[in-house]
């Protein structure tokens, strides 16, 4: 089975932003960006995966949330997705936003310019830090995934880098009926048409329009 490289459940606003302005420890997604994810947070998949809770909504939104965790053997994240720290690591105390048992349960490769030892966590998640670029991170993630797919988790800049390099096979985007006004635009400087992506599915729910884009020739 070929390893595919996928973006899943990445939410953007109507004006194209995947994160709001002024990201920090109190607003990890940027000011106002929590509103983007109202389609996802109530779902059974997110309630179970992120919060360890029973219950949650089913239907279109949950179906798309669940597909994002199916057949994933490794993740790749930009450094901002791991934490708010910038520059050299001041210490090794920060271990991510998610507590002792992060929702990944597979190896996670963090793109950074500053070396950091691996961080093993509960639930089979280990964070590895890659200082040699997106292709090396993807090679390591493919090896770790052992034939399963690799999920590019974000943020927007990380996805842009992989898109421009033609390395993403498929993207599920959720377009939320929210305007952010500023922040990080997902497709800033990216020509999806020239990169040969096509829309292969679009489904509307009450609080998101789900769109699946696939690169021509991708497995």
The pLDDT value recorded for residue 28 is 64
Neighbours of 147 (CB within 10 A): 10
HSE at residue 69, side-chain half, CA atoms within 13 A, is: 14
| One CATH from 3.40.50.300, 3.40.430.10, 3.90.550.10, 3.40.50.720 for 5-20+29-86+100-215 | 3.40.430.10
Residues of the chain with pLDDT below 70 are 1, 21-32
∠ CA 160-163-164, nearest 5°, is: 85
How much is the pTM?
0.93
State the Cα–Cα distance between residues 35 and 72, nearest whole angstrom. Answer: 26
pLDDT at position 134 is 98
Q: What is the pLDDT of residue 27?
A: 65
What ranges do the domains of the chain cover? 5-20+29-86+100-215
């Amino acid at each position: 089975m070929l390893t595919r490289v996928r973006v899943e459940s990445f939410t953007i606003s109507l004006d194209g932003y995947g994160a709001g302005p002024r990201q920090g420890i109190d607003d990890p997604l940027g000011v106002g960006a929590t509103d983007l994810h109202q389609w996802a947070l109530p779902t059974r998949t997110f309630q179970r995966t992120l919060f360890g809770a029973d219950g949650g909504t089913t239907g279109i939104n949950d179906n798309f949330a669940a597909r994002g965790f199916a057949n994933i053997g490794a993740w790749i994240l930009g450094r901002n997705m791991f934490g708010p720290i910038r520059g050299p690591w001041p210490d090794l105390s920060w271990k991510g936003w998610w507590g002792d048992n992060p929702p990944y349960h597979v190896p996670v490769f963090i793109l950074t310019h500053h070396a950091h030892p691996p961080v093993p966590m509960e639930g089979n998640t280990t964070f590895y830090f890659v200082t040699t670029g997106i292709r090396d991170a993807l090679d390591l993630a493919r090896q770790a995934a052992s034939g399963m797919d690799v999920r590019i988790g974000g943020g927007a800049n990380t996805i842009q880098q992989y898109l421009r390099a033609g390395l993403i096979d498929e993207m599920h985007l959720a377009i939320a009926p929210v305007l952010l006004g500023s922040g990080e635009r997902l497709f800033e400087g990216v020509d999806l048409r020239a990169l040969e992506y096509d829309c292969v599915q679009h489904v509307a729910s009450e609080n998101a329009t789900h769109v699946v884009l696939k690169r021509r020739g991708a497995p």
